[in-house]
């Protein structure tokens, strides 16, 4: 079977220095908040063009922390796409707020600024919820339309989070999403473009006070500089818990892994783009291949094509088993949009529902994508898809 994502090829490339870095942490004993944590936060800031970076335990925690810091809670609305991983919407109910689901652009699969505007206007008119923030997602690694989305947020006084769990490293006109967003979050789950050897995440931000608040929330609401400056204490203010926080720390071991992986990340992004270019050259005359926003660079967390399920002609759901027989794995992200899932179906959607999201869920299919995909394997994949489409008739949507 051709690997869908080949983490072992990456591990072989990273070699002994990676294992040495892990062993160094094991021997040091600094398992929590060891020196690798601060160094990783510094390097992620340089890479991601962000003044402040907070490492944390997962991409989900990275999304919860800013909502907590802004005091978003019951009665508040946070707008997000439904065509995403569940965590994007899960964090709103976690803080007591309501997600409001917005439709996506049919070509980039990212938040549609027109649907966003309509959803905000509708929520304001209904008068039940207070619009507070927007979470845009860089789905499959490609940047969302930040200039347009940020303009909508500015017009309505909303905070903007870029959920870049799949898109960390993506750019638009050379700028990272944090250029437009108040906060960028990411995940270092192993299968993400920049992954560690377990769970991890980060919050990139621009404001020192806000970052300070995140530092406090990450460790049980502990007093931070802004809480103690100008005051005197009878006890060490380290043990002063001034707000409700949580434990959202990243392990030092994961920071050590990420410091090694960051060294080759730019090169891997270039390799992913070469793989994507070859897929497009081999397939785009027959099926719908991905679109990256003009001026954008994707990090290709997924390479997702579309085949409509046409009755009697074969489509997405027939392609997957045929490829599997030939040793080619595929995956469907996402077969059930979040707003159609039971527990999330109670939350509002943009007016008129989410027709683009509903349609895409039935026709997307993701192909093997990683920096180490060989041209031989890629040629096999391309040939197998071409043969399928040519026997089953035009399946491009
Ligand atoms: C993976 C992912 C997350 C959650 O990250 P975890 O580290 O698994 O908690 C959030 N949003 C999107 C879009 C993701 O793909």
Counting every residue written for the chain, the total comes to 397
Residue 6 clears pLDDT 70, i.e. is over it: yes
Give the per-residue pLDDT at 238. Answer: 74
Which protein residue has the closest C-alpha to ligand 1 atom 5? 59
Residue 15 clears pLDDT 70, i.e. is over it: yes
Predicted confidence (pLDDT) per residue in 148-183, tens digit: 999 999 999 999 999 999 999 999 999 999 999 999
Residue 391 β-bridge partners: none
Confidence of residue 311 (pLDDT cuts 50, 70, 90): low
Residue 310 clears pLDDT 80, i.e. is over it: no
State the average pLDDT for the chain.
96
Residue 146 clears pLDDT 50, i.e. is over it: yes
Give the per-residue pLDDT at 312. Answer: 64
Residue 130 β-bridge partners: 76
> What fold, for 266-395?
3.90.1150
Please give the distance, rounded to the nearest whole angstrom, from the Cα atom of residue 238 to the centre of ligand 1: 31
Residue 393 clears pLDDT 90, i.e. is over it: no
Give me the percent of the chain exceeding a pLDDT of 70.
97
Please give the distance, rounded to the nearest whole angstrom, from the Cα atom of residue 389 to the centre of ligand 1: 32
List, as one string, the DSSP characters of 44-89.
HHHHHT-SEEEEES-HHHHHHHHHHHTT--TTEEEEEESSS-THHH
Q: How far is CA 350 from CA 46, 78, 104, 121, in A?
A: 37, 12, 11, 9
Confidence of residue 300 (pLDDT cuts 50, 70, 90): very high
Please give the distance, rounded to the nearest whole angstrom, from the Cα atom of residue 59 to the centre of ligand 1: 5
- What does the pLDDT average to over 136-145? 98
Confidence of residue 354 (pLDDT cuts 50, 70, 90): very high
Confidence of residue 340 (pLDDT cuts 50, 70, 90): very high
Q: Which atom of ligand 1 is nearest to the CA of 137?
A: 13
| Cα–Cα nearest to 275, from 296, 302, 295, 293 | 302
Confidence of residue 396 (pLDDT cuts 50, 70, 90): very low
Q: Where are the domains of the chain?
A: 7-260, 266-395
Predicted confidence (pLDDT) per residue in 208-226, tens digit: 999 999 999 999 999 998 8
| Cα–Cα nearest to 206, from 161, 153, 156, 258 | 161
Q: 144, 166, 169: which to mutate for ligand 1, most atoms within 8 A of CB?
A: 166
Same fold, 7-260 and 266-395: no
**Contact partners, residue 274, CB within 8 Å, separation at least 6:** none
| Cα–Cα nearest to 269, from 380, 166, 163 | 166
| Cα–Cα nearest to 63, from 99, 25, 35 | 99
Ligand 1 pocket, Cβ-based, cut-off 6 angstroms: 58-60, 84-85, 87-88, 137, 163, 165-166, 187, 189, 199, 201
Q: Is the peptide bond before 239 cis (omega within 30 degrees of 0)?
A: no
Give the per-residue pLDDT at 231. Answer: 86
Question: Count of CB atoms within 10 A of residue 237's CB?
Answer: 16
Q: Which CATH number fits domain 7-260: 3.40.640.10, 3.40.50.300, 3.40.50.620, 3.30.390.10?
A: 3.40.640.10
Q: How far is CA 173 from CA 47, 51, 71, 297, 347, in A?
A: 16, 19, 33, 8, 35
Please give the distance, rounded to the nearest whole angstrom, from the Cα atom of residue 387 to the centre of ligand 1: 34
Please give the distance, rounded to the nearest whole angstrom, from the Cα atom of residue 61 to the centre of ligand 1: 9
Predicted confidence (pLDDT) per residue in 179-197, tens digit: 999 999 999 999 999 999 9
The H-or-E segment that residue 388 falls in is: helix 375-392
Predicted confidence (pLDDT) per residue in 67-110, tens digit: 999 999 999 999 999 999 999 999 999 999 999 999 999 999 99
Please give the distance, rounded to the nearest whole angstrom, from the Cα atom of residue 384 to the centre of ligand 1: 31
């Amino acid at each position: 079977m051709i690997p869908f994502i080949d983490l072992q090829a990456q591990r072989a490339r990273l070699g002994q220095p990676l294992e040495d870095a892990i062993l160094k942490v094991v021997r040091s004993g600094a398992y929590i908040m060891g020196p690798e944590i601060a160094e990783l936060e510094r390097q992620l800031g340089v890479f991601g063009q962000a003044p402040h970076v907070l490492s944390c335990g997962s991409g989900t925690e990275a999304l919860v922390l800013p909502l907590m810091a802004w005091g978003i809670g019951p009665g508040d609305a946070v707008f997000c796409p439904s065509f995403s991983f569940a965590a994007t919407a899960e964090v709103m109910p976690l803080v007591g707020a309501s997600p409001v689901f917005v439709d996506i652009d049919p070509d980039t699969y990212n938040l549609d600024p027109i649907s966003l505007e309509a959803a905000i206007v509708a929520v304001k008119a209904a008068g039940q919820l207070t619009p507070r923030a927007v979470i845009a997602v860089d789905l499959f690694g490609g940047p969302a339309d930040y200039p347009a989305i940020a303009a909508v947020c500015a017009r309505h006084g909303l905070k903007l989070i870029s959920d870049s769990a799949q898109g960390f490293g993506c750019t638009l006109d050379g700028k990272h999403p944090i250029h437009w967003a108040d906060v960028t979050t990411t995940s270092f789950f192993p299968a993400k473009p920049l992954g560690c050897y377990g769970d991890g995440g980060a919050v990139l931000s621009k404001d020192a006070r806000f970052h300070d608040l995140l530092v406090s929330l990450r460790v049980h609401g502990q007093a931070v500089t802004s809480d103690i400056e100008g005051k005197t204490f009878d006890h060490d203010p380290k043990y002063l818990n001034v707000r409700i926080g949580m434990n959202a720390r990243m392990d030092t071991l994961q920071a050590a892994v990420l410091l090694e992986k960051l060294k080759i990340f730019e090169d891997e992004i270039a390799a992913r783009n070469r793989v994507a270019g070859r897929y497009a050259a081999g397939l785009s005359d027959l099926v719908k291949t991905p679109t990256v926003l003009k001026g954008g660079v994707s990090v290709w967390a997924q390479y997702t094509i579309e085949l409509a399920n046409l009755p009697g002609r074969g489509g997405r759901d027939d392609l997957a088993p045929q490829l599997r027989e030939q040793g080619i794995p595929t995956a469907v992200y996402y077969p059930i949009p979040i707003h159609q899932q039971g527990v999330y179906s109670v939350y509002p959607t943009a007016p008129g529902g989410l027709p683009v999201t509903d349609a895409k869920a039935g026709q997307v299919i993701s192909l093997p994508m990683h920096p180490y995909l060989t041209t031989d394997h890629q040629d096999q994949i391309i040939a197998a898809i071409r043969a399928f489409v040519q026997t089953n008739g035009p399946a491009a949507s």
